Amino acid sequence: MVLFRHGYCVCVCVCFWVCPGQVAWISRVSVCPEKSAMDLVSGYKGVVGLVFGNEKSGSSNEDSYVECLLDCISNGKLSEDRRTAMLELQSVVAESSNAQLAFGAMGFPVMMGILKEERDDVEMVRGALETLVSALTPIDHAKGPKNEIQPALMNADLLSREADNISLLLSLLSEEDFYVRYYTLQLLTALLTNSPNRLQEAILTIPRGITRLMDMLMDHEVIRNEALLLLTYLTHEAEEIQKIVVFEGAFEKIFSIIKEEGGSDGGVVVQDCIELLNNLIRKNASNQVLLRETIGFDPFMSILKLRGSTYSFTQQKTINLLSALETLNLLIMGGSEADHGKDANMLTNRTTLVQKKVLDHLLMLGVESQWAPVAVRCAVR
């Protein structure tokens, strides 16, 4: 329902009516600058229907509500009203698949416009980023059809189609505000999760795109952890990106974080670091050579070394050691079959590892340590 009062339009989503002019229960209320009823009702009416067929009647109110909020954000005269509308939009998009669908049809130009033109309004930029994250986060509907396409996946596809959008998001990583950088990384991770190939291709075309992501590894701990996850997704089966990431000093940064977090005794961050390391050297002989000839295998060997007198093994330590043993296996294999000089690289890796007394560490893990979990001891063998 749309009401007009004192120069504003009030959008009200109503569950049922008692009688004309009386509402039994109101679920949403939004105030937007005045516009004609025809603009509000007809602006979006045919967009989703043409592509996805007729919408259920229950979704039409959410469509109009999303449109009203977007209009308030775009044309509102008072900053407070615009910010309130942004918070409400983020909330409804996070809760409703229909709202996500409506947002995908109408919302991206509005949000990207804010990110591009209103950088000084940190609160609006935060709100726009958080809303975009919500629009790309799938909503679990246990009662819904199993084969139904998630609006969040379609939204990720829409947002990633334009390389300029990715370039704009990467530029936000240089902003001083912590939450702007944090939500930007979350948004990029959501894009990678839902549309990996397109984002990988886009980042390769953006000058200093990967450099900006690598810089985040030296940022605040929370930002760093988000960047680790993002880089792990980004480097999966992407050889060109793997090479650039290594060129940007990935090995040094990875082992620095592992050492800071306590080696194999550290938490899930150590696991994330090792997974990123494995992505960089898996079937990639050139990166293995760079690892061996720049920082060497000593930092890696320190992960396998057991410390302390009790040799306590938590579940996380077991996972960390299993991940490190996978690293060792990748080095022993030497690279993919297509790599020229694979055999020479494999032989050099094995010789260097033996010189670093890797067999002593494996013997301790697999035989002598009475505390090593069965999974670790079996992996060693």
Confidence of residue 9 (pLDDT cuts 50, 70, 90): very low
The domain spans of the chain are 1-139+150-160, 269-381
The predicted model gives 10-16 an average pLDDT of 41
Please give the single-letter amino acid code of residue 341: G
At residue 133's C-alpha, the angle toward residues 130 and 138, to 5°, is 140
Between 380 and 34, name the one with better pLDDT: 380
Residues 233-281 have pLDDT tens digits of 999 989 999 999 999 999 999 999 999 999 999 999 999 999 999 999 9
Which uninterrupted H or E stretch holds 298? helix 298-304
Please give the single-letter amino acid code of residue 379: A
pLDDT at 132 over 90: yes
Between 343 and 310, name the one with better pLDDT: 343
Between 56 and 279, name the one with better pLDDT: 279
Outline where DSSP puts E strands in the chain: 2-5, 8-14, 17-19, 22-23, 26-33
Tokens of 38: 């025809």
Question: How far, in Å, CA of 251 to CA of 144, rounded?
Answer: 45
Do residues 70 and 89 lie in contact, with contact meaning Cβ atoms separated by under 8 Å?
A: yes
Residues 104-119 have pLDDT tens digits of 999 999 999 999 999 9
Tokens of 344: 């020479």
- Confidence at residue 116, expressed as pLDDT on a 0 to 100 scale: 96
pTM of the entire structure?
A: 0.80
Tokens of 279: 């992505």
- Confidence at residue 338, expressed as pLDDT on a 0 to 100 scale: 61
Confidence of residue 146 (pLDDT cuts 50, 70, 90): low
Do residues 173 and 212 lie in contact, with contact meaning Cβ atoms separated by under 8 Å?
A: yes
The predicted model gives 276-301 an average pLDDT of 95
Q: How far is CA 172 from CA 32, 83, 195, 199, 220, in A?
A: 29, 20, 20, 16, 16
- Confidence at residue 78, expressed as pLDDT on a 0 to 100 scale: 93
The predicted model gives 320-349 an average pLDDT of 85
Pairing of strands 17-19, 22-23: antiparallel
- Confidence at residue 117, expressed as pLDDT on a 0 to 100 scale: 95
Residues 172-192 have pLDDT tens digits of 999 999 999 999 999 999 999
